[in-house]
Every structure is written in structure tokens, then in C-alpha cells.
Structure 1
Amino acid sequence: MGKKRKKASVNQQKIARSQRMQNLVVFTILGVAVALGLFAVIQAAVGGDEVDTDQFDYENQPVLGDKNAPVKIVEFGDYKCPVCKRFEAQVFPRLKKDFIDQGKASMYFINNPFIGDDSVTAALAGEAVYRQNPEAFWKFYSTVYRNQGPEQQRWATPELLIQLAKKEVPGIDVKKLKEDLESQADLKAVDKDKEIARKLNVTSVPTVFINGKPVKDVFDYEALKKMIEEEAKKAR
């Protein structure tokens, strides 16, 4: 009887271990699937047809380069988005060197803050910097991305954003920036950007348009380059 009970106990332990392993595998697969799905949502660019470029409201957006350049590049982004950070680090410098600095293209940034409440805080800071000193905006843009915290944490606080502006962005009245963040002085501008994104069905970041044409893969630089060159030829 004792041996039978011992044997039954051993079998039960084996079954329990097997079930735990199965559960672990299932949860791991589900976790990976969710992570990949979220990554795809963040990374994927908008597909579909060319959009009406008037909807971008170019005149009220931060711009880098010659406003009269034949090609206009528009990025919709969220400062908390890790894929946007990758775009700023890997693609933006090449676009600047190859096209913007050459007068062939200009680049615009439109806020699409949706990851967290502090996404809006960062967007407000960007708008406040732009309103103070348009030329300082792109330095702030790069500085925030390069100091980006974990996506799940609330890191884009007014204190950090003010500190970054003070340390890294010349020509900014830090006291005025603090006041603007406290009063949310640029909330209408951020809300307007969000409305533009909604009307154009921009549901992911970074999303890039070239003369109103959506880019399918923002990290395929050769495809980006080809699109820009084709648009530049049309303008000749």
C-alpha cells in the first residue's frame, strides 16, 4: 500500500510539473505575441492612398529646411515611442544630410501623442519651444528622443523636459517654458495635431508622408530615397 501511495504521489508531481511547464510555454508565447503585435502597431506606417496635403497645416508646424523645397516630409510621432527614437537616430540624420541640407526637401513634425499622459506633456514642451524659438525645436526634438525613458514609465515630466531644454537647447527662456507647461499654453496646438492625425487615420507612430504619399516602411531608406527623388523630379 505504501509503495502504491508513493508511486501515485510521484506521478502526481510529474503531472503537476508538466502542467506548469505547459502553462509557462503558453504564457511565454502569448507574451511574445502581444509584444510583437504592439510593436507592429507602433512601427507600422499608414498604408493607402495619397492624402490632401492641405490637411497637414504646414504653416503651423515645425519645419527643418527650406519651406519652398520641392519635397515635403511629414513625420507623425510620439516622444515616448521607442520606434520613433530609432527613426530619429537612424533615419532622420540621413534625410537631413542627403536631402534637407541640400535644399531638396523640408521636414515637418506633427504630434500624435497616445502612449501615455506624459506623451502629451512632451508634446506641449515641444510646441512651447517651437513657439519661443522655431530654430531650437529640432535640437529639442532630438534631445528628448535621445534621453527617452522606458515606454511603460511616466518619465516625460515637466521637470525633466525643462532640465533638458536648459542643458541642451540654447536660446530658450526656461522660466517661460515652465510657465507654459504649467498652464498648458499650447494644448490647442497639440489637440489640433491630434485632430489632423485622426482625420488622416494615422493610428501608428512613426508615420511618414512624402508630399502626401504614405511611406510603407520608414526604415527602408532606399525606398524613402527613391520616393523623395521621384517627387523632386516631378517638381522640375
Structure 2
Amino acid sequence: MSETAAAIRAEFTKVRGIRGTFVALLLFVPVSVFIAALGGWSAKGAIESDSPGLRSDFTPEQAGLDGILYGQLVLLVFGVLIVSSEYASGMMRVSLLAVPRRGRLYAAKMTVTALAAAAVAAPVIVVSYLVTQAALGSHGSSIDANGVPRALAGAVVYLTLMSLFAAGVAATARSAVLPLAVLLPMVLAGTQILSVIGATKEVARYFPDQAGMRMLTVQSHDAYTGFAVLLVWTAAALAAGYLRHRRWDA
């Protein structure tokens, strides 16, 4: 087994062995499915009662993907903890003894972050979409409706990149407190508010989460632009994290 493969295998073992990180990854499943079901039932009730609270641009296809806004919070926590837990516990020194080349260790950790996030996101996104449509009942749509397969694939890529972005920010900060204090409010409400204010609307479109959300918009015409913007943010975060990791005094 090559040294790189051994480093990746060791990182997978850490994901399973560190309780907080593993729990954060697993929580993505029930949170996403529950939000999907709740969203579908709520929308069904609004449709059947002609509620004015139903969004004017509501479509069953997009409703199956809207719950990701909340599910992604769990993966952001996972991305932060997979890096910050080792700095906080001092295990990073042990990891460097096993893998002295810092670039190899960092690359292995980020590879495992991406693979774990994608492996969990892919099936959960499909299940969540189907759960929403089932909850909508006769108002639901099919999984092969126009634009849906692309949006589902975009959602997997989006969640994977956002997990990597969070991991890069955590590596830069070398702790969990600051990244979580910034990322969670930003994704949950911060950029949402900025995106509806006239003075900041255009700027907010280029924040990582707002740009990336275009990838999972069913009728989006600029999904690839959103992907490119999020990719730049992720690459910048990973680069900054690596520079901090390389200069860390173990």
C-alpha cells in the first residue's frame, strides 16, 4: 500500500473513530429527510387550502431540493470538526508523526472529507426528493422531470464543495468556534437577507452558498457560473488552510 493510500485509510478510520465527527456526518440523514417530509406536507396543506403563504414561484420539483438549505448545516459542522478536532485534542501532532509530509496529510484529510460528504449526500438527496414528492401526494412530481436530474447532481457537488470549504476555513482558523460562528449564521440567514436587500443583492450572489445554490435550482440558467464561483471560494479556503497547516508549529 502506498503512503498516500495509507494516509487516506487512516483518515477514514479517524472519521469513524471520532464520535463528534461521525455523529455530525450521520445526522445529515435524519435532518434532511425530516425537513423534506415537513416541507412536502406543509406545501400540500397550503395548496389544498389555497393559502396565500404559498410561494408564488412554488414548484414541486424545486420543493424537493429546498430542504438542503437546512441539511447542509450538519455537513458544514462535519467539515469543520474533521479538521478542528485534531488541533483541539493535540492529535494533529500524532498524525504528523505517522505522516510527516504535511502536504500529504492535508490532502488525505481533504480527500476523505470530500468522499465522505459525497457518499452520504448522494443517496440522501435522492431519498429526500422522493420523500417530498410522496408528502405532496397528487401535487408531487417525478424524479425524471425536466431539470431535476441535473439539479440533484448539482446538489451533491454543492454539498461536497461546501464541506470542503468549511474544512478549509477550519484549517485556517485551527479551531471550531470561529468557523462555526461565521458559517452557520451566514448560510442559515445572513446571505439570504443580503440577497433581498437592494444595495447588497448583487454582491450576495457571489457568496459561496448563494452562488452554489444555483446548481440545485431546477430551472437555473447559470448553474455552471454558480459552480465556478463556489469552486473558487473552495479552492481559496483550501489553499489558505494548507498554508496555515504547513506553518503550524507542532
Q: TM-score range by the shorter chain?
A: under 0.3
The structure with more helix, counted as a fraction of residues: 2
> For the pair shown, which has the larger CA radius of gyration, 1 or 2?
1
TM-score by length of 1: 0.26
The structure with more strand, counted as a fraction of residues: 1
TM-score by length of 2: 0.25
